[in-house]
Amino acid sequence: NDRRRVRVSHSRRKYLLLLLGKKVSSFPLVMDPEVVVDVRSGESDPKRQKLETDEETYDAMSSSSSSCNGYSSSEDSLGYTSEDSRLFDAEYKKSGSYDFDASRVGAIVVFHPVVFEESYYATEPETDGELMARLSRVALNKYNDDENKNLEFVRAVKANWSLGGGHIFSITFEAKDPTSETMPFHAKVGWIPLDTRVYHVKPKTMMT
């Protein structure tokens, strides 16, 4: 199972969007959080250090290749084609960040599936699936507080990962109360090992 993961930083994502002919403001790169919760230990974390190193590397790459308004217009320098741009644009318009299917696009991915059985983002022995469940509970607690509800978490269903001021997870999870059937939720949660931020959380049918 040879799977490639491509990390795309804040600056590089703006670069890709300009290649796609999009205005940067039309695509959620970094959002102001509604709440900051679940702050964990202040110890240094190697995954956070790696994330910061990746950001610095991509920022330097985009800076060195700039030629017009801070960005290069050459597709060849990045290895992306107009077909890659078209495939990404079509999939994002169809599915958004929650249901984005990386298998249907080319070199431009941005939203990567989280494999629940791995510990790529989580710190072992916690799995990524357990991390998504934990972040889903944080999001559901915020929803319950905001809406004066008492829903119970059922399970995390799936999640996509993207980068924007940290890890951004677009999570689909299920919740219920004693008198209702299980309902799907969408939550967009920003996470680094020391900080969790809930940007959006709503029942799936209410998301726009």
Please tell me the chain's helix, strand, coil percentages from 3-state DSSP, rounded to the nearest 5.
35, 25, 40
**SS3 state at 20:** coil
Contacts of 186 (CB under 8 A, 6+ apart): 98, 170, 171, 172, 200, 201, 202, 203, 204, 207
Least confident of 25-29, 42-46, 100-104: 25-29
* Residue 83 DSSP class: H
Opening angle at CA 102, ends 117 and 106, nearest 5 = 140
Indicate the pTM of the whole model: 0.63
pLDDT band at 47; cut points 50, 70, 90: low
Least confident of 10-24, 70-84, 108-122, 176-190: 10-24
Which residue in the block uniquely carries the two structure tokens 């999640």? 159
Is the peptide bond between 46 and the residue preceding it cis, with omega within 30 degrees of 0? no
69 φ/ψ sector (left φ>0, alpha ψ -120 to 50, else beta): left
Cα 77 → chain centroid: 26
pLDDT tens digits for range 160-199: 999 887 899 999 999 998 888 899 999 999 998 889 999 9
- Summary count for the chain: helices (H), strands (E): 4, 6
pLDDT at residue 181, rounded to an integer: 86
Query: Does residue 122 surpass a pLDDT of 60?
Result: yes
Q: List, in sequence order, every beta strand (DSSP E) within the chain.
A: 35-37, 112-113, 152-163, 167-176, 183-192, 195-203
CA distances from 137 to 1, 130, 159, 193 (A): 31, 11, 14, 16
The first and second tokens of residue 16, run together, are 């890709």
Q: Element (H or E) spanning 61, and its range?
A: helix 46-64
Query: Does residue 7 surpass a pLDDT of 70?
Result: no
The C-alpha atoms of residue 185 and residue 173 are separated, in whole angstroms, by: 5
Domains of the chain (ranges; CATH) run 10-27+42-110 (no CATH), 128-206 (3.10.450.10)
Cα 199 → chain centroid: 11
